[in-house]
Amino acid sequence: MRRFSKTTISRQARPLIATATAIGLVLAVPMTGIAQQDTAPASSAATAAAPVSFAGIVKEKLPAVVGIITTMPQPQGAQGGTMPQLPPGLGDLFGAPRGGQAPESGPLQALGSGFIISGDGYVVTNNHVIEQASAIEVVLEDERRFDAVLVGTDPATDIALLKIESDEELPHVEWGASDDLEIGDWTIAIGNPFGLGGTVTAGILSARSRNINAGPYDDFLQTDAAINRGNSGGPLFNAAGDVVGVNTAIVSPSGGSVGIGFAVPSAVAQRIVADLQDDGAVERGWLGVGIQPVSEDIASALEIDGTDGALVTSVTRDSPAEKAGLAPGDVIVDMDGAPVDGPRALSLAVADLEVGTSVPLTVLRDGKTEELSVEIGLHPSYSLAEAEDGADPAAPGTPQLGVAIAPLDASLRARLGLPEELSGIAITGVQPDSAAAKAGLRPGDVITAAAGEDVSDLEALRGAVAEAADKETPLLLRVYRGGGYTFVAVKLIGDDE
């Protein structure tokens, strides 16, 4: 049976990892550098003849590939260094100290990778690399070390954005066009497998658009370049030395590379990073429907030809879909002039649409074709907490927390390892230099109460923010973090301050 595994490495556990059995999805966290071909490709930046050496690319790009050291609190009640709040398959990668005995208490450290995308210090990595971290340190190839601020995360695609500050311009890499890659093109990964330091591997693009059930928007590149534990968050390059993917996971029955690695394509990662950089959260389009594939039996029962399209199973109340007239039993076969191959294709397409855009839909209903128009809404997982209902986040003098929040649905609970009985709203992004950032709030925190009142939705939080702003007092939040609770006082900031 195939096993997917995430590959973050505990500093204390490095000697033990090589013999560990991989369980689940291995996420790769590397100390990355870049491998690229010196010779320009004949037909495109992504295509080239077999190279003599990748040395030129490595020399040029390695300074922009970084190691990431995260410190995590020991979960309350944890035994043997296990990490119950992590997704299955990650627990064996953390906490075992040198000598084979896990610490009974104290912080845990893990190693990961990332890459610098701008001279002013923005760093891309995987969300699972920094998830639940209480401190993040970025280590450059020249051994300079920087404390990092978490700008925002997108658990749905496993992308995170960090920021480091330097007195001088930092080395950085450029994004490439993953859509231009063809199966068989060269790909190059650089990482820190098993804590060995900058390691370069090369292979070809094996497949595109892989769905490994890691998240709702899976659309991975597959490469046979060796990616191991310790490579997560590092860059995957094309033959021109541009980043075409973020190394994330491998299929691993044994814990090591078997030539099946996965990377988030740059076409996805670049847009996610831009949203995180601008807002601290990701803006996605939303229809508000439950959908499933059309099987042959369902097609026969509905008396339709073929199994293309997405069958609507439910419609969310007051959603764009309901307003457009979609109903359970409809089969969406075309959106904005493009055929819908299935539920996954529809989900990816809708998520990429700009909020407020009106798009035509073609649906099959009761054996007939219906033409509808839907205005794409903002996905409910994206919200910036403002001072008042309808307040313009950019309005001068408006006090803000500066966080993006999401409701605690089953998917988010599982991703963050939250107990079923926990009630509140999760922070998915924190804007740099915001009130939340200055108070120490970070993605993964769950706000359970504000000003002494339970918080279960955005409206409750907005009310508490507005009340604290009126009183000109800090807002006291009760936050669930790392298996326990803490209080955080947030001094609200107005744009005119």
Report helix, strand or coil for 349. Answer: helix
Backbone φ and ψ of 279, nearest 5° = -125, -10
User: Among residues 271, 270, 265, which one has the least CA distance to residue 248?
Assistant: 265
231 among the known binding-site residues? yes
Residue 484, annotated ligand binder?
A: no
Catalytic position from the list 5, 113, 206, 232: 232
Q: What does the block give as tokens for 274?
A: 């831009």
Distance between start and end Cα atoms, the chain: 58
Ligand-binding annotation for 495, yes or no, is: no
180 counts as catalytic:
no
Q: Which of 86, 78, 74 is nearest to 8 (CA)?
A: 86
66: its two tokens: 């970084």
Active-site choice (154, 158, 185, 330):
158
Question: Residue 268: in which H helix or E strand, if any?
Answer: helix 266-279
Q: Which residues contact 342 (CB under 8 A, 6 or more apart)?
A: 293, 294, 308, 309, 310
Residue 119 assigned ligand-binding role: no
476 in Cβ contact with 452 (< 8 Å): yes
On whether the CB atoms of residues 406 and 381 are closer than 8 A, the answer is: yes
> 180 exposed, middle or buried (CB, 10 Å; 0-12, 13-18, 19+)?
middle
DSSP 148-171: -EEEEEETTTTEEEEE---SSPPP
| 230 labelled binding-site residue | yes
φ/ψ (deg, to 5) at 287: -100, -45
Residues in Cβ contact with 157 at an 8 Å cutoff, skipping those fewer than 6 apart:
127, 215, 217, 264, 268, 269, 272, 282
* Runs of H (alpha helix) within 294-448: 296-302, 320-324, 343-352, 410-416, 435-439
Q: Which of 5, 128, 242, 381 is flagged as catalytic? A: 128
CA dist 215 and 248 (Å) reads 12
Active site residue 319: no
- Residue 51 contacts residue 45 (beta carbons within 8 Å): no
Residues with catalytic annotation?
128, 158, 232
Annotated binding site: which residue ranges? 128, 158, 230-232
Annotated binding site for substrate: which residue ranges? 128, 158, 230-232
